[in-house]
Amino acid sequence: MERDQESVQEQPQAKENDISEAHSVDMSLNCRQSFIRNVYLTFWLQQIAIYLFAYYSIKTPMLREFEAKQVWVLVLISVFVIVLYCYLFSNKIETRKQINKFIWIFVVTLTQGYVISAFCCIISNKINNGNLFIQYLLFMNGIMILGLYLFTQFYPKDFKIGESFLFCFFFGLIQSAFLIYLYRDDIKFIFISLCLILAYSFYLIYDMKCIVEYKRYSVGKDDYILGVFILNIDVFILPIEFHKYLKDGKK
Protein backbone atom coordinates (compact mmCIF):
# COMPACT_ATOMS: atom_id res chain seq x y z
CA MET A 1 0.00 0.00 0.00
CA GLU A 2 2.84 2.36 0.87
CA ARG A 3 4.63 1.48 -2.40
CA ASP A 4 1.46 2.34 -4.35
CA GLN A 5 1.22 5.73 -2.66
CA GLU A 6 4.89 6.44 -3.39
CA SER A 7 4.45 5.54 -7.08
CA VAL A 8 1.40 7.79 -7.33
CA GLN A 9 3.37 10.66 -5.83
CA GLU A 10 6.30 10.09 -8.20
CA GLN A 11 4.19 10.18 -11.38
CA PRO A 12 3.33 13.92 -11.36
CA GLN A 13 6.96 14.76 -10.70
CA ALA A 14 8.10 12.62 -13.64
CA LYS A 15 5.54 14.30 -15.85
CA GLU A 16 6.78 17.73 -14.86
CA ASN A 17 10.35 16.77 -15.75
CA ASP A 18 9.31 15.36 -19.13
CA ILE A 19 10.38 17.92 -21.75
CA SER A 20 8.84 16.01 -24.65
CA GLU A 21 5.51 17.69 -23.85
CA ALA A 22 4.74 21.17 -22.57
CA HIS A 23 2.00 22.91 -20.70
CA SER A 24 -0.25 25.15 -22.77
CA VAL A 25 1.23 28.55 -23.56
CA ASP A 26 -2.12 30.17 -22.79
CA MET A 27 -1.43 30.48 -19.07
CA SER A 28 -1.66 34.22 -18.49
CA LEU A 29 -1.47 37.49 -20.37
CA ASN A 30 2.20 37.99 -19.47
CA CYS A 31 3.14 34.46 -20.57
CA ARG A 32 1.37 34.83 -23.91
CA GLN A 33 2.93 38.24 -24.59
CA SER A 34 6.40 37.00 -23.66
CA PHE A 35 6.02 33.96 -25.93
CA ILE A 36 4.77 36.05 -28.86
CA ARG A 37 7.57 38.61 -28.50
CA ASN A 38 10.27 35.94 -28.31
CA VAL A 39 8.89 34.10 -31.33
CA TYR A 40 8.68 37.25 -33.48
CA LEU A 41 12.15 38.44 -32.43
CA THR A 42 13.76 35.06 -33.16
CA PHE A 43 11.80 34.76 -36.40
CA TRP A 44 12.97 38.24 -37.46
CA LEU A 45 16.61 37.37 -36.77
CA GLN A 46 16.23 34.16 -38.75
CA GLN A 47 14.64 36.00 -41.69
CA ILE A 48 17.39 38.65 -41.67
CA ALA A 49 20.01 35.89 -41.97
CA ILE A 50 18.03 34.30 -44.83
CA TYR A 51 17.55 37.64 -46.61
CA LEU A 52 21.27 38.45 -46.37
CA PHE A 53 21.98 35.03 -47.90
CA ALA A 54 19.53 35.75 -50.75
CA TYR A 55 20.76 39.32 -51.27
CA TYR A 56 24.39 38.20 -51.51
CA SER A 57 23.43 35.47 -53.99
CA ILE A 58 21.50 37.73 -56.38
CA LYS A 59 24.30 40.31 -56.23
CA THR A 60 26.98 37.72 -57.06
CA PRO A 61 26.65 36.65 -60.74
CA MET A 62 28.37 33.28 -60.28
CA LEU A 63 26.17 32.30 -57.32
CA ARG A 64 23.03 33.62 -59.01
CA GLU A 65 23.61 31.53 -62.12
CA PHE A 66 24.43 28.40 -60.09
CA GLU A 67 21.38 28.62 -57.83
CA ALA A 68 19.05 29.47 -60.72
CA LYS A 69 20.21 26.67 -63.04
CA GLN A 70 21.08 23.83 -60.64
CA VAL A 71 17.48 22.94 -59.87
CA TRP A 72 18.41 19.48 -58.60
CA VAL A 73 20.27 21.07 -55.68
CA LEU A 74 17.19 23.14 -54.85
CA VAL A 75 14.96 20.04 -54.93
CA LEU A 76 17.40 18.03 -52.82
CA ILE A 77 17.72 20.70 -50.11
CA SER A 78 13.96 21.35 -50.16
CA VAL A 79 13.31 17.67 -49.45
CA PHE A 80 15.91 17.78 -46.67
CA VAL A 81 14.17 20.80 -45.09
CA ILE A 82 10.78 19.00 -45.17
CA VAL A 83 12.26 15.84 -43.62
CA LEU A 84 14.02 17.96 -40.99
CA TYR A 85 10.79 19.70 -40.01
CA CYS A 86 8.97 16.36 -39.81
CA TYR A 87 11.70 15.04 -37.52
CA LEU A 88 11.62 18.11 -35.26
CA PHE A 89 7.83 18.08 -34.91
CA SER A 90 7.78 14.36 -34.14
CA ASN A 91 10.66 14.78 -31.64
CA LYS A 92 9.83 18.00 -29.84
CA ILE A 93 12.28 17.03 -27.10
CA GLU A 94 15.08 18.07 -29.49
CA THR A 95 13.76 21.63 -29.70
CA ARG A 96 13.43 21.89 -25.92
CA LYS A 97 17.02 20.99 -25.05
CA GLN A 98 18.88 24.20 -24.28
CA ILE A 99 21.85 23.58 -26.62
CA ASN A 100 20.16 21.51 -29.31
CA LYS A 101 17.48 24.07 -30.13
CA PHE A 102 20.08 26.65 -31.22
CA ILE A 103 21.89 24.05 -33.33
CA TRP A 104 18.62 23.07 -35.01
CA ILE A 105 17.61 26.64 -35.80
CA PHE A 106 21.06 27.23 -37.31
CA VAL A 107 20.68 24.15 -39.56
CA VAL A 108 17.11 25.12 -40.52
CA THR A 109 18.11 28.72 -41.26
CA LEU A 110 21.06 27.64 -43.41
CA THR A 111 19.12 25.12 -45.51
CA GLN A 112 15.97 27.21 -45.74
CA GLY A 113 18.14 30.20 -46.65
CA TYR A 114 19.47 28.34 -49.68
CA VAL A 115 15.95 27.38 -50.81
CA ILE A 116 14.67 30.96 -50.59
CA SER A 117 17.86 32.30 -52.14
CA ALA A 118 17.51 29.89 -55.08
CA PHE A 119 13.91 30.97 -55.70
CA CYS A 120 15.02 34.62 -55.55
CA CYS A 121 17.75 33.92 -58.11
CA ILE A 122 15.26 32.19 -60.44
CA ILE A 123 12.84 35.14 -60.19
CA SER A 124 15.69 37.57 -60.69
CA ASN A 125 16.66 35.84 -63.95
CA LYS A 126 13.14 35.32 -65.27
CA ILE A 127 11.64 38.81 -64.69
CA ASN A 128 12.83 42.09 -66.13
CA ASN A 129 14.38 44.06 -63.27
CA GLY A 130 13.66 41.03 -61.08
CA ASN A 131 16.76 41.84 -59.09
CA LEU A 132 15.20 45.13 -58.03
CA PHE A 133 11.87 43.51 -57.19
CA ILE A 134 13.53 40.95 -54.91
CA GLN A 135 15.43 43.69 -53.09
CA TYR A 136 12.23 45.65 -52.41
CA LEU A 137 10.44 42.51 -51.26
CA LEU A 138 13.22 41.41 -48.90
CA PHE A 139 13.74 44.90 -47.46
CA MET A 140 10.06 45.62 -46.86
CA ASN A 141 9.36 42.19 -45.36
CA GLY A 142 12.30 42.46 -42.97
CA ILE A 143 11.15 45.88 -41.78
CA MET A 144 7.55 44.65 -41.47
CA ILE A 145 8.49 41.69 -39.23
CA LEU A 146 10.60 44.03 -37.07
CA GLY A 147 7.64 46.41 -36.83
CA LEU A 148 5.37 43.53 -35.81
CA TYR A 149 7.80 42.57 -33.05
CA LEU A 150 8.00 46.17 -31.81
CA PHE A 151 4.19 46.39 -31.87
CA THR A 152 3.92 43.34 -29.58
CA GLN A 153 6.73 44.73 -27.41
CA PHE A 154 5.03 48.04 -26.63
CA TYR A 155 1.34 47.15 -27.05
CA PRO A 156 0.03 46.61 -23.50
CA LYS A 157 -3.17 44.71 -24.38
CA ASP A 158 -3.68 41.11 -25.43
CA PHE A 159 -2.68 40.06 -28.95
CA LYS A 160 -5.56 40.52 -31.43
CA ILE A 161 -5.73 39.86 -35.16
CA GLY A 162 -7.60 43.04 -36.18
CA GLU A 163 -5.46 45.53 -34.29
CA SER A 164 -2.19 43.81 -35.26
CA PHE A 165 -3.07 43.71 -38.96
CA LEU A 166 -4.26 47.32 -38.87
CA PHE A 167 -0.83 48.29 -37.57
CA CYS A 168 0.86 46.27 -40.35
CA PHE A 169 -1.38 47.89 -42.97
CA PHE A 170 -0.50 51.46 -41.98
CA PHE A 171 3.13 50.54 -41.36
CA GLY A 172 3.28 49.05 -44.87
CA LEU A 173 1.77 52.20 -46.35
CA ILE A 174 4.44 54.30 -44.61
CA GLN A 175 7.18 52.02 -45.98
CA SER A 176 5.73 52.22 -49.49
CA ALA A 177 5.38 56.01 -49.38
CA PHE A 178 9.00 56.33 -48.27
CA LEU A 179 10.27 54.03 -51.04
CA ILE A 180 8.11 55.71 -53.70
CA TYR A 181 9.53 59.07 -52.63
CA LEU A 182 13.07 57.72 -53.13
CA TYR A 183 12.44 55.57 -56.21
CA ARG A 184 9.55 57.03 -58.22
CA ASP A 185 10.25 54.89 -61.29
CA ASP A 186 9.64 51.60 -59.42
CA ILE A 187 6.08 52.15 -58.18
CA LYS A 188 4.84 48.87 -59.72
CA PHE A 189 7.40 46.73 -57.89
CA ILE A 190 6.81 48.59 -54.62
CA PHE A 191 3.04 48.13 -54.88
CA ILE A 192 3.34 44.39 -55.63
CA SER A 193 5.79 44.00 -52.75
CA LEU A 194 3.35 45.79 -50.43
CA CYS A 195 0.48 43.46 -51.38
CA LEU A 196 2.59 40.33 -50.88
CA ILE A 197 3.95 41.56 -47.56
CA LEU A 198 0.50 42.45 -46.22
CA ALA A 199 -0.74 38.97 -47.12
CA TYR A 200 2.29 37.41 -45.40
CA SER A 201 1.84 39.67 -42.35
CA PHE A 202 -1.78 38.54 -42.01
CA TYR A 203 -0.56 34.93 -42.11
CA LEU A 204 2.01 35.61 -39.36
CA ILE A 205 -0.64 37.26 -37.18
CA TYR A 206 -3.34 34.65 -37.79
CA ASP A 207 -0.99 31.70 -37.27
CA MET A 208 0.33 33.20 -34.03
CA LYS A 209 -3.24 33.55 -32.81
CA CYS A 210 -3.84 29.88 -33.67
CA ILE A 211 -0.69 28.81 -31.81
CA VAL A 212 -1.45 30.80 -28.67
CA GLU A 213 -5.22 30.81 -28.36
CA TYR A 214 -6.57 27.88 -30.34
CA LYS A 215 -3.76 25.57 -29.11
CA ARG A 216 -3.06 23.87 -32.43
CA TYR A 217 0.27 22.70 -30.97
CA SER A 218 1.41 21.70 -27.49
CA VAL A 219 3.84 24.54 -26.78
CA GLY A 220 5.02 26.16 -23.57
CA LYS A 221 6.03 29.73 -22.83
CA ASP A 222 9.74 28.91 -23.41
CA ASP A 223 9.16 27.08 -26.71
CA TYR A 224 9.86 30.14 -28.88
CA ILE A 225 12.25 28.17 -31.13
CA LEU A 226 9.47 25.66 -31.76
CA GLY A 227 7.16 28.61 -32.40
CA VAL A 228 9.53 29.85 -35.12
CA PHE A 229 9.50 26.41 -36.75
CA ILE A 230 5.68 26.42 -36.65
CA LEU A 231 5.55 29.82 -38.39
CA ASN A 232 7.86 28.49 -41.10
CA ILE A 233 5.96 25.27 -41.78
CA ASP A 234 2.36 26.44 -41.31
CA VAL A 235 2.57 28.62 -44.39
CA PHE A 236 2.12 25.32 -46.29
CA ILE A 237 -0.21 23.57 -43.82
CA LEU A 238 -2.79 26.30 -43.21
CA PRO A 239 -3.91 26.61 -46.88
CA ILE A 240 -4.52 22.83 -46.93
CA GLU A 241 -6.55 23.03 -43.71
CA PHE A 242 -8.48 26.02 -45.04
CA HIS A 243 -9.27 24.08 -48.24
CA LYS A 244 -10.51 21.13 -46.15
CA TYR A 245 -12.63 23.52 -44.10
CA LEU A 246 -14.26 24.95 -47.24
CA LYS A 247 -14.74 21.46 -48.67
CA ASP A 248 -16.43 20.22 -45.48
CA GLY A 249 -18.63 23.33 -45.40
CA LYS A 250 -20.05 22.58 -48.85
CA LYS A 251 -21.12 19.05 -47.88
CA distance 198 to 202: 6
pLDDT for 55 equals 92
Are the C-beta atoms of residues 68 and 125 closer than 8 Å to each other? yes
The three-state secondary structure class of 24 is coil
Number of domains present in the structure of the chain: 1
Are the C-beta atoms of residues 206 and 241 closer than 8 Å to each other? no
> Band of the pLDDT at 185, cuts 50, 70, 90?
confident
Residue 8 lies in a domain: no
Structural domain span for residue 147: 29-228
Residue 120 lies in a domain: yes
CA distance 147 to 134: 20
pLDDT for 248 equals 60
Residue 234 lies in a domain: no
Residue 109 lies in a domain: yes
CA–chain centroid gap for 38, Å, is 12
Least confident segment among 48-62, 82-96, 153-167:
82-96
Residue 243 lies in a domain: no
pLDDT over 90 percentage in the chain:
39
CA distance 188 to 181: 13
Residue 21 lies in a domain: no
CA distance 6 to 19: 22
Q: Cβ–Cβ contacts within 10 Å for residue 21, how many?
A: 12
Residue 101 lies in a domain: yes
Residue 11 lies in a domain: no
Nearest to 38 by CA among 228, 207, 202, 170: 228
